[in-house]
Amino acid sequence: MKRTLLSAFLVTAFLLPVWPQLFPKKTVVHAEATGNRRKASSDLKHKVNSGRGNDRVRVIIQPVNSWNTTLESTVQNSGGSNERQFQNFRLRAVTISAKAALELANRQDIAYVSLNREVRTLGHVSVTTGADAVRTWNCSTIDGVDGTGIGIAVLDSGIDADHTAFNNGSNPRVIASQDFTNEGRTDDPYGHGTHVASIAAGNGRVSDGEYLGIAPNANIINLRVLNSEGVGSTSWLLTALDWVASNRNVYNIRVVNMSLGMPAVDSYLNDPVCQAVRSLTNSGIVVVAASGNNGIDGNGNKVYGHIHSPGIEPSAITVGAANTFGTDERNDDTVTSYSSRGPTRAYWTDDAGVKHYDNLIKPDLVAPGNKIVAAEARQNLLVTEYPQLDAGISFFDNRKMMYLNGSSMATPVAAGAAALMLQVNPTLTPNLLKALLTYSAQPLAGFNMLEQGAGEINIEGAVRLARVVRTDLTGSTPLGDPLLTTSDLPVPQTAIAGQTFGWSRGIILNYTYATGVDLITTYQLIYRPGSLLSDGVITGDGVITGDTTMISAGVITGDQIMTSNGVITGDGIPFLPISALFGAAASLSDGDLLGDGVITGDGVITGDGVITGDMILQAQAATVDGDPTCSMPLQVDDGTDCVD
């Protein structure tokens, strides 16, 4: 069956919260490891320094150890009041004056204080991504891999659970719903979350399966963290992630999708959402985050350094947006002009006032995200304000489909892929799953690693690898043990729509990349829970080498960020020395020219200290045969469910 590959034009304010918990790493020397860190976010200090220290603000306080009565009384004596506490994270949301919040950061028992920032949000793809290649499908049955039993938590603006895309007869697809916005509703008056959820797990009943989701039988957990206008807060997001940690076993939540976020101000070392993401990842939950939609400036010039939070978190799978030009074939695919590029530019500041930028390679990969057609929540704000977003698929409210575009749409493609991989191999750790996704990705010619990571997602290849990974691996499995159940190595190629392409055969690490067949034949200690893939790398004095106590000798690390020639990771034209990404202080400065664009900082501070995401109003052009509006014809719905 030929399926339409459309994506939409508009509004995606995407995602990202990111956290990193620090774990001792014997062999990794991070650039940020030197000097004493200042313990208050730059936007909080900006508010105080601009004469607004008496303003009441909402902040996230991170204690050094657990929250105790001394801290409680200190906050109260400073005129503060507790807004929210968390069961699984050592964090506290507090309302207090900006000046008092800044003074709290001077206490020895406080690790970091940051503003409780505002969060905002940032088709058809099952053929071109390779999802259809791992199953046979028709209107009466899906035979094969469909996400059965896997829970995907969608943190977004809510879900219209009555939409036909989520209706499987007597078996509800949306198995749990929670509201964290204080609006007392879990439907989707904004319209973003329904669209995102159906990309990850829509059932294909509308239009004879033209708009089938990636994991069409996965369970959906609807966690509403964006309000009726598509706006949320850090504390709402943290509360939802806390809920996931407490209820993961009840609903078998294995994947979290965050198509939302905010500009990255604090280093992932201090960002509270990044810390929560790391905690979930270490517990075995795959967290997928959008890269952002800030790849070009107001004049259409290419810019680098605008990966949003939580996409800056090393443990998250950060996804950028690809343009498929509406075709199933992948030989014309590109990275969209608006997809945010790395490196990550969040930072921490030492006592001397020197900024230490994270400068990590992100995104990890890209997925279709331009002009995607997916489920439309009834009477949602986006379509009300922009009627052209309605795709004209149906006249029935519970069967309508709409266009949206951006990394918000690419992210649930990866989330759905993770669900399929976990269905065939539930023992995969988040690190190993991420490595398989990037190893099997397709490098897009002419785009560098700061634009595409390892390349465009290839679900067929990733699932094929997941099937043959051993299911008896544990945290104590020795380095060098066989990774696969077979000695017959998977052929590193995939055929989609009659075209065969090669895999990247590499993975993205913090400041570098690694290649080598050992990545899929030999167990690497970086695949263990509680680790980062980058733990297998030693950095220092401008040199990157592999740590052979963490990775086998057959794994090779690179010394250049490459512009791909479309073959494998590491081939192509050198774009930037990797040594420029790390050092005691940042080697890169805002405004530096990076080949075809300028690197800029991500920490945009407004007058009142509020951090918001950007929205885009038009998709990148997707012209096919001279038609700039779409490529394949839209498949109009006749009102009959595609079930039998």
Judge whether 30 counts as a catalytic residue.
Answer: no
Residues 563 and 446 sit within 8 Å (Cβ to Cβ):
yes
Residue 54 token pair: 């008496």
- Please count the other Cβ atoms lying within 10 Å of the Cβ belonging to residue 480: 16
Judge whether 408 counts as a catalytic residue.
Answer: yes
**How far apart (Å, rounded) are the C-alpha atoms in residues 199 and 423?**
18
Please pick, among 46, 124, 192, 356, the residue that the annotation labels catalytic. 192
**How far apart (Å, rounded) are the C-alpha atoms in residues 628 and 621?**
6
Residue 173 token pair: 């697809």
Q: 């829509």: which residue's tokens?
A: 202
Q: How far is CA 471 from CA 148, 425, 438, 477, 552, in A?
A: 18, 7, 20, 12, 20
- Please count the other Cβ atoms lying within 10 Å of the Cβ belonging to residue 141: 12
Please pick, among 315, 408, 534, 552, the residue that the annotation labels catalytic. 408
Please pick, among 156, 160, 208, 266, the residue that the annotation labels catalytic. 156
| Residue 479 CB partners (closer than 8 Å, separation 6+) | 522, 523, 524, 525, 549, 550, 551, 552
**How far apart (Å, rounded) are the C-alpha atoms in residues 321 and 341?**
10
**How far apart (Å, rounded) are the C-alpha atoms in residues 195 and 206?**
14
Judge whether 356 counts as a catalytic residue.
Answer: no
Residues 344 and 261 sit within 8 Å (Cβ to Cβ):
no
Residues 209 and 175 sit within 8 Å (Cβ to Cβ):
no
Calculate the CA 631 to chain-centre distance.
27
Q: 């995602």: which residue's tokens?
A: 15
Q: How far is CA 541 from CA 33, 348, 463, in A?
A: 14, 20, 39
- Supply φ then ψ for residue 602, to 5 degrees: -100, -15
Active-site amino acid positions: 156, 192, 408
